[in-house]
Amino acid sequence: MGDETGPPRGRFTFRPTALAGVWEVDRRFLSDERGTFGRLYCAREFHDAGAVTGPIVQMNLSRTTKIGTVRGLHFQRSPGRETKVVTCRTGEVWDVVVDLRQSSPTFLEWHATLLDGVGQTSLVVPPGCAQGFQTLTEDCELLYLHTAEFDPSLDAGVLATDPRLDLPWPLPISLMSERDQHLPRVAAALRGGRD
């Protein structure tokens, strides 16, 4: 895909990352004396760019109150594999995507993006990649758009502190859920042959 910035499409600029299918998407807001207005998502523009090809079927909102908290790294197994569009509405997070596609040339590589409620960037996470984040401020709120409904039986993840990934979390980790602390390391998570 390269790492060049693509041409603006409508109200969005789609920037491919080094991980195939992972996009940073910049929104362009209109401003006047009243404030701003802009789109968070447009199915046609995201489809035309190749960033999201399926319909959005679920929206979720997370709020994390404590700085330094890590959530993730989460994904859904087949047949519930999904594309996610992640947008920070309040606060600032270091959002990371790990490529778990065993056939991918960037298998086990990662990409991180700073997302915040002031900037106008979203992150597109394709099927087969795990996603998580660390809060860099108090009170962070993230909006997720999903191409598949959440299915608890397909819910999966990998340990965010797995030495094999060697993720450089920006802050000391102040909090992780009990579940996230006990997610499997990458090797164990992939033994089921998931791609």
Tens of pLDDT, residues 155-182: 999 999 999 999 999 999 999 999 999 9
pLDDT at 7 over 50: no
Distance CA 190, CA 195 (A): 8
Q: Indicate if 144 belongs to the active site.
A: yes
Phi, psi of 188 (to 5 degrees): -70, -40
pLDDT in tens, 81-132: 999 999 999 999 999 999 999 999 999 999 999 999 888 899 999 999 999 9
| From 41, 144, 146, 182, the catalytic residue | 144
- Asked whether the predicted pLDDT for residue 35 surpasses 70, the reply is yes
Asked about 74 being catalytic, the answer comes back as yes
Catalytic residue among 41, 74, 111, 146: 74
Long-range CB contacts (< 8 A, 24+ apart) of 5-12?
Answer: 6/49, 9/45, 9/48, 9/49, 10/42, 10/45, 11/38, 11/39, 11/42, 11/45, 12/39, 12/42, 12/45, 12/46, 12/49
Phi-psi region of 169 (alpha: psi -120 to 50; beta: other; left: phi over 0): beta
Spell out the domains of the chain, with CATH numbers in brackets: 55-190 (2.60.120.10)
Place of tokens 């270091």: 94
Q: Model-level pTM greater than 0.85?
A: yes
